[in-house]
Amino acid sequence: MTVLEGKKAPFFSLRNENGELVSLEDFANEKYVVLYFYPKDSTPGCTTQACDFRDNYEDFSKLNAVILGVSPDNEASHQKFIGKHGLPFSLLIDDEHEVAEQYGVWKLKKMFGREFMGIERSTFLINPQGDVVKEWRKVRVKGHIDEALETLTEIVNG
């Protein structure tokens, strides 16, 4: 497992649901970035996670943070997912899983007796200076967003 906490966040530049390029440097010296990797749009766990981030979006925003979701899904899938659930943040397309590999979240997974490569649900909190200040790997959806918000609150408010 790659441990990124305390190190510079790997650079990324990916297209979002509207085909716009979004890069880590877009937020440099300005915002915290909550970068969360999830396996697939419109699946139960991923929908719950996205909706939990949506429901806490204002709280993250008040703490000067942007939320960015990343999965291998395409633009049309992201647009549908955002539209169906009213997500107020961008979803980035990592169809070649390059960024997932940089963050060490492209893993061998096992389900129903078969093995395949896919995203391991993970979240990274990146400060405005571009450092990973907290990482959560093998995330369980229930309670995760509360924990991420609590950690961000503690960091911002000292």
Catalytically annotated residues: 46
First vs last Cα of the chain: how many Å apart?
A: 29
Q: Which residues does residue 23 pair with via DSSP β-bridges, in sequence order?
A: 13
Cα–Cα nearest to 52, from 63, 65, 36, 39? 36
> In this structure, what token pair is assigned to residue 124?
């990274």
Q: How far apart are CA 53 and CA 138, in angstroms?
A: 17
Q: What is the DSSP letter of 121?
A: P
Q: How far apart are CA 92 and CA 75, in angstroms?
A: 8
Stated as kind and residue range, the H or E segment containing 33 is strand 32-37
